[in-house]
A and B are shown apart, each in its own frame.
Chain A
Amino acid sequence: MTQPVLSLRNLQVEFKTRRERLRAIDGISFDIAKGEVLGVVGESGAGKSVTGSAVVGLIDPPGRIAGGEIHLSGLRIDNLPPEEMRKIRGKRIGMIFQDPLTSLNPLYRIGDQIVETIRTHIGMSEQAARKRAIDLLAEVGIPAPEKRIDGYPHEFSGGMRQRVVIALAICAEPELIIADEPTTALDVSVQAQIIALIKRLGRDHGTAVMLVTHDMGVIAETCDRVAVMYSGRIAEIGPVQDVIRNPLHPYAKGLMGAIPTLTGEDLRLVQIPGSMPRLSAIPPGCPFNPRCAFAFERCRVERPEPIQRGAQAVACHLYDSSLKESAA
């Protein structure tokens, strides 16, 4: 087995409040291989974005990594000193945020922002960095980059700004790109272009991509594998086609049922009753049990661990082989 680019082992993230410790991420593990696109999907508050922030070491206090390990190409990075971690951010891990309108400093020319980032990570002359910035802008599909490089962010449309953000994320040839809802704030017509761009860049440079989104359509189109998150845990993870065609976890089933299809065979949209619990009120056992149609006694007391089913792994007691008879 080749070494994965990103490897999370039993990662836990806590937010300490006056009354209690809230566990935003409760023991998640996954790998992303070179050139692979992993989609992370779930409702808001499921811990998708926190996972991304944890990987780049940007969890704001009072949040902190409470346990587990994060490895980047074999190097453990969750306990690096801040200055070491800073050198990794932007150089080895590129990040793309949700809202391109607010991601760029409005008072700086985009060229200056790119050159600044390049020169922070790569020893390069001003001119060389500028030339590289123009190449990057061309690569992400900005027309007439040698002119646009001196523009200010407000002179770019939302889609174009997201391209600039992507150029910034890849300017030091990172091994890993974390894209946190990169298309949510964009027009539908632009979304597909940005997704195609991220996919192409991942393929061309062999970059591993962690794509956080709540849009199953994006996942289906872009990802190799998908992790379904619920209440800070991974409910199910596996190859994207398997998970979409044959979801195992009751929550994943509900989620897939919630995607409208155009085939028209089954027009009834499945709705999952209730909503995800707040961090302060996660029930014991399986966090999904109050909403689960198949929940039984064990689900209310014992936390399900991931169970391998073919290429998929599912955290659900229904698939525990020792209890086969109870599986529906």
Chain B
Amino acid sequence: MLAFTLRRMIQAIGVMLAVGIIAFAMFRFAGDPVNQMVSIDTSAAERAAIRKSLGLDDPIIVEFAHYFANAAQFKFGVSYQFRLPVADLLKERMPATLELATCATILAMVFGILMGVYSALRRDTLLAKAFQAISLIGISLPTFLIGILLIYLFSVTLGWLPSFGRGEVVKIGWWSTGLLTLSGLKALIMPSITLGLFQMTLIMRLVRAEMLEVLRTDYIRFARARGLTTRAIHFGHALKNTLVPVITVTGLQFGSVIAFAIITETVFQWPGMGLLFVQAVQNVDIPIMAAYLLMVSLIFVTINLVVDILYTVVDPRLRATISRPA
């Protein structure tokens, strides 16, 4: 178990290093950082001085080590557009994105699992077919169209919900939360639905497929032959076996949810990291792009690691194969 955890951690560090190289390459070669920092009438000598102070004259390896050491301390340089440390910008924006992504994931899981279980157990009912249709639409409609549609319905036409922003936020330490005010909660509704819909579709399809698969297995047949109640079979045996892979996938998807938030945040002008990133891409603000890539990768890798380790706790079979000395 310890060896497994260690191996996974080394792998995770490897991935972070690889992403770090890409981020560094972007930072260093895509656009000259000096040019972005100075005005046209800066003298060559001044430029050279800045170049030296930024360490751009060092050998590449040293520069990379420097960049990586800084990144490990969450020092990502200074944004070209805002003239502010990227780390501060990200720190300010992160709570908004995490709250949105968490709400969307919870929403997606609750409804995705309910709908998936229903459509697996009552395969031929009208409602199950309606769910199937919804899932196809959920996959086919681009996220931003869903957002626009919701805004048109609930903001423009009905005027119930705000179409942009986070509403009122409350500061808890450096963390700003929208969960404690009514306007904050109202502002959260549509973005969460927009962001969660695709995940919900995914979860629903996965739950349905897994459940149908599980219901065909021998142990379910044997459970029926043992005379267990349908309830015990469906919601005890089948659901438990279904949920193990579903929760894993959902956990792994949390990283993508954060990345997908780019689109939702743009539609709803949600002041999160995604919006910051989109603006950075438009304005070629490389330090922010590189830092965002690193942050998202870090979240991805951490989640992967945690899910992998949790998985072994849930599934006794894996625990056995892992603890067995290889």
Residue positions of A touching B, CB distance < 8 A:
56, 58, 86-91, 95, 97, 99, 102-108, 116-117, 120-121, 152, 154-155, 165, 168-169
Selected from B225, B236, B317, B320, the residue in CB contact (under 8 A) with A97 is B225
7 A–B contacts from the bound complex (CB under 8 Å): A97-B221, A97-B225, A103-B222, A105-B223, A105-B241, A152-B317, A155-B320
Per-residue contact bits, chain B 220-243, to A (CB 8 Å; 1 contact, 0 not) = 011111111110100011001100
Q: Tell me the complex Cα distance, A6–B229, Å.
A: 24
In the assembled complex, B157 has its CB within 8 A of some CB on chain A: no
In this complex, what residue of B is CB-closest to A155? Answer: B320
Total B residues in contact with A, Cβ cutoff 8 Å? 23
Nearest to B217 among chain A residues (CB) is A102
Q: In whole angstroms, how far apart are the Cα atoms of A56 and B244 in the complex?
A: 31
The answer to the question of B218 belonging to the interface, with a C-beta cut-off of 8 Å to chain A, is yes
Q: Which residues of B contact A (CB under 8 A)?
A: 217-219, 221-230, 232, 236-237, 240-241, 244, 315-317, 320
Are A86's CB and B229's CB within 8 A?
Answer: yes
Residues of B within 8 A of A95 (CB): 222, 225-226
Contact present for A102 and B227 (CB under 8 Å): no
CA distance A154 to B218 in the complex (A): 15
> Which residue of B has the minimal Cβ distance to A117?
B226
For B315, list chain A residues within 8 Å (CB). Answer: 106-107
For the complex with contacts A95-B226, A104-B219, A106-B241, 10 further pairs of A-B residues with Cβ separation under 8 Å are: A58-B221, A89-B225, A90-B228, A95-B222, A97-B222, A99-B218, A105-B223, A106-B317, A121-B227, A169-B226
In the assembly, what is the distance between CA of A24 and CA of B317, in Å?
38
Complex contact B226–A90 (CB within 8 A): yes
Closest A residue to B243 by beta carbon equals: A107
Q: Known contacts being A107-B316, A154-B317, is A102 close to B228, with CB within 8 Å?
A: no
Could you tell me if A154 and B228 are in contact, using CB atoms closer than 8 angstroms? no
Residue of B nearest to A112 (CB): B236
> CB-nearest residue of chain B relative to A114?
B226
Q: A89-B224, A102-B217 are in contact. Are A154 and B320 (CB under 8 A)?
A: yes
Q: Could you say which of B222, B232, B244, B315 has the most chain A C-beta atoms within 10 Å of its C-beta?
A: B222
Q: How far is the CA of A95 from the CA of B227 in the complex (A)?
A: 10
- Chain A residues with CB below 8 A from B225, complex form: 56, 58, 89-90, 95, 97
| Assembled-state Cα–Cα distance A274/B219 (Å) | 35
Residues of B within 8 A of A116 (CB): 228, 232, 236
Bound Cα distance A99, B228 (Å):
20
Closest 3 CB pairs of A and B: A90-B227, A89-B227, A102-B218
- A155 contacts across to B, CB distance below 8 A: 320
Q: Which chain A residues border B219 with CB–CB below 8 Å?
A: 102-106
B13 → chain A closest CB, angstroms = 31
Question: B241 touching A120 by the CB < 8 A rule?
Answer: no
Residues of A within 8 A of B236 (CB): 116
Chain B residues closer than 8 Å to A87, beta-carbon distance: 227
Min Cβ gap A141→B in Å is 20
